Amino acid sequence: MLLGIAVLIAVGMATYIVLPLLSAETAGGSLPVDVTVLGDLKRRRLVVYDNLQDLEFEFQSGKIAPGDYEALRANYLGEATVLMAATQEAEQLKENDAVIEREITARRTQRDVQIKAEYSCPACGYENPLPVKFCGECGARVPAPRKKG
Ligand SMILES: [Zn+2]
């Protein structure tokens, strides 16, 4: 029992360490955090399908009693269903993350534009990238921005 848990943890850790490396190679670029989760789910689904095929084969060759075969098969199919649902959920989360990312980018851009407008120099028109009292380009006084209500 304890050994089984230890093995599971070891496999899980290996998955999280090795899979990102593999996917980074195939994706050839920046690695989103959730790739590991989806990759892990996919790998576990493939394992379940492998087990199902093995089971089918062993049943066909008469190594497994029909009752055991049915029970194991139901077990694997249940596992596959759970993994499918988890995958869909993870993909949904990924989509939500993408929406949030776009929202953040839009707001960040908006904020940057706002700062530029608020701290642009009235004398030379230079857009000071930071809140300043004096223009970084010509040294003229930059009026404090009006406080937003
Ligand atoms: Zn200036």
Indicate the pTM of the whole model.
0.47
**What average pLDDT does the structure give for the chain?**
81
Enumerate residues with CB within 5 Å of ligand 1 (an ion).
121, 123-124, 126, 135, 137-138, 140
| Count of H-run helices and E-run strands, the chain | 3, 0
CA of 137 from ligand 1 middle (Å) equals: 5
CB atoms within 10 A of CB 144: 10
- pLDDT digit string (tens) for 114-126? 766 778 888 998 8
DSSP 3-state of 55: helix
Segment 44-69, tens digit of pLDDT: 999 999 999 999 999 999 999 999 99
Cα of 113 vs centre of ligand 1, distance in Å, is: 18
What spacing in Å lies between the alpha carbon of 115 and ligand 1's midpoint? Answer: 15
Distance CA 122, CA 90 (A): 51
